[in-house]
Chains A and B, each alone.
Chain A
Amino acid sequence: MVIKHIIDFLKGFSQGLKENAISLIELECAEYENLFALLVVGGLVGMPSPPTTLSLRLLPFLEHELRIMTSMTLNLDDAFGRIAGYFEA
C-alpha cells in the first residue's frame, strides 16, 4: 500500500517534470502555428500576403492555426506577461 503511494508519487513527479520540460516546446509550437496563420491570411490585417489562391487553397485546413492566432491576438496586450510567466520571471 505504501509502495503504491510512493510509485504514484514518483509517477506524478515524473509527469510534472515532463510537463515542465515540454511547456516551452508547446509555447514554441503555438508561436509557429500563429506565425504560419499570420503569413497565410496576413492580407486580412494589412500584411503582405501570398498569392490569394495559395491562401484560399490552404484556408480550409487551417482551423486550428486560426484559433491559435485569434487567441494570441486577443492576448497581445499582455504578451510580455505571458512570456515572463513561462520563464517564471
Chain B
Amino acid sequence: MRVKFFVGKGGVGKTSVAASYAVYLSTQGYKTLIVSLDPAHNLGDILGIKLSDKVSQVGENLFAREVDIDREISSYLNKIASSLKMTYRYLSVLNMDSYFNVLRFSPGMEEQATLESIKKYVFSNEFDFVLFDTAPTGHTLRVLSLPSVSSIWVDELIKIRRLILDRRGIIERVKGKSPQSLPSREEDDDVMRELIKIKEECLVLEKKLRSEEVTYIPILNAEEVPLIETERIVHFLERFGMHIEKIVVNKYMPDKILKQKEVMDKIITSFAKYEIKVIPYTDESPRGLEKLKEVCLACLI
C-alpha cells in the first residue's frame, strides 16, 4: 500500500491537486482512498459529491472521507478518560467524573486526533493508495513531528524512571519492601510499562512515516510567501528523513503576473534536486471527476 501526503500553505490548491491524483489513480485500476484532514473541508465540493466522516465510494475504485476532528478527539479522549475514571472511580459517586470531558480542550489534542486518523489508514492494507489532503502547514508539521517529539520525551522519562527504580531497588534490598509496596523492577512498574508501550508506538509510526511507501508532495503557488513556507516544509521533511516525491506549482500564470516568472526561477533553484510539476491557472477551479482527471493527465503525470 502507498501513501501520499499533500502539504502546503492554506489556499494553494492542495485539495484540487490531491483530488486530481486520486481520480487518476482510481482510473488506473488502483483502489484509492482520499482523506481530508483539513478542518475546513472542501474535498466534497471539489469532487462534486457530498462527503461525511465515513468512508464513502465516490467512483469506481475511488473512496473519500472528510475526517470529523471533533469526533476523533472525542473517541481518543474516551479511551483516556475511561482510564482516568477507573483510577478516580469514587468521583462517579459524586457525579464529578464528567469534568474529565474538559480534557478535549487541552493543547495538542487536535494534532493527536489527526495523527490517530492517519494511523488508522497507514497501517491498513484495504487500499492500494491512500492520499491525505492535509490542513495548512503549521498544523500538519506539528502532527507529523508528534511521534518524534513524543519519542524524545519518552526517552528522557525512561532514563529518569530507571534511576528511580534503581534507587528503590537499593532501598528495598536494605530495608525490605516499602509500606506502600512501590515497584522496583521495570516489569512491575505501570509507569515504565506505559512508557515502553508509548515508545514502541512512536517508533512504529516514525518508521512508517519515513518509509519508501509514504511520500510527501509539497504544493505552492509561484509567489514569495508560499515559496518561503515551502522551503520550510521541505527543510522539515528532509530533517525528519521523509521522502519528497515531487513539488507541484499550482495556478501558474506568468503571462498575467510577471512576478511569477521571477519566483518560478527561484523555485527551480531552491528545489533543484526534486521533480517540479506545474499546473497552469484556469479561470475556473477543476470540479468533478472528469475535470480532475484531465488536470492530472495534463500536468502531473
Contact = CB atoms under 8 A, between A and B. Distances in A.
A60 interface: yes
Contacts of A36: 157, 160-161, 164
Contacts of A64: 180, 182
A11 B83 CA distance: 46
A57 B164 contact: no
Chain A interface SS verdict (over half): helix
A18 B175 contact: yes
Interface residues of A, number: 30
A61 B194 contact: yes
Of B76, B163, B182, chain A has the most CB atoms within 10 Å of the CB of B163
Interface residues of B, number: 37
B160 A51 contact: no
Given A29-B171, A61-B190, A53 B180 contact: no
B157 A22 contact: no
Interface in A39-64: 39-40, 43, 50-54, 56-64
B194 A22 contact: no
Interface of A: 18-19, 21-22, 25-26, 28-29, 32-33, 35-36, 39-40, 43, 50-54, 56-65
Interface of B: 76, 80, 83-84, 86-87, 103, 106-109, 111-112, 146, 149-150, 153-154, 156-157, 160-161, 163-164, 167-168, 170-171, 174-175, 180, 182, 190-191, 194-195, 198
